[in-house]
Amino acid sequence: GNTASPPYPEDPTYDLSGMMPMLDGPPPFSMWFAPSKLVRLVWRLVQSVFAKYAPKLTGDRFMKVFGNVFMQATPITNNDLWETDKGFAQQFLSGTNPVMLRRVKSVKDELTKNRGEAIVKALGESSLESLAKDGNLYCVTYDAWDSEKTSPRKVLSKNDSWPLFYFYNPIVVFSVPEGDSKLMPLAIQIERTKDAKVYKPGDKEWTFAKVYKP
């Protein structure tokens, strides 16, 4: 189950009950690893065993014996996957917090009434309703941040003169393109106002919106 965030150790009087809930124990087994990830873990284990016990099989000799069977994928830190829309969506499925993504059943109740009018208008309500009807519309909303305000300098210095500012609480909308099996982002609305700017793939500031998303 979920539990409220514990008190902030440096300032126990600051109420964190409205923040995003956390798991109060390990996640359900069904959320641990997908079958494909288990297979990758087994391959990594085999690679580690050969790397430890067969140190002489390196370079060309290793390739002649094993070919590409045990070659590891390029680490995400060494490629540009993080900058792609595919990599962005992947963070919501296997990143640090993969439990916020949910399937949208009603555009009106879950987006429009949640001050997501701008993103609904930008993408077209009828198009979104069609995706929702097909079970192919997903979203992440940071509702817990709606009324939260803070100042990093105030937290660090305990100086009451520092002004507070409000966190943005974005809305991110996803779907799986026709003929594909990968979740992809459709748009990002950073502010909860009727005239908020909506960022979509291909926009000049699209990368900014993806990076700004918490």
Residues 74-96: tens digit of each pLDDT: 554 556 677 889 989 988 888 76
Give the residue from 178, 181, 179 showing the smallest Cα distance to 86: 181
Contact (CB, 8 A) for 141 and 92: no
Point out which residues pair with 166 in neighbouring strands.
149
- What is the per-residue pLDDT for 162? 61
Q: What percent of the chain has pLDDT over 90?
A: 29
Q: What is the mean pLDDT of residues 186-197?
A: 91
Give the residue from 75, 165, 130, 80 showing the smallest Cα distance to 120: 130
Assign 98 a pLDDT band (cuts: 50, 70, 90). Answer: confident
Q: What is the DSSP letter of 28?
A: P
Reduce the DSSP state of residue 185 to 3 states and report it: strand
Q: In degrees to the nearest 10, what's the CA dihedral of 108, 111, 113, 118? A: -110
Contact (CB, 8 A) for 185 and 201: yes
Contact (CB, 8 A) for 129 and 107: yes
What tens digit of pLDDT does each residue of 17-31 get? 666 666 667 777 666
What tens digit of pLDDT does each residue of 118-159 get? 999 999 999 999 999 999 999 998 877 766 665 555 554 555
57: pLDDT strictly greater than 60: no
Sign of CA dihedral 38, 40, 44, 46: positive
Count CB-CB contacts under 10 A for residue 163: 8
- What is the per-residue pLDDT for 188? 96
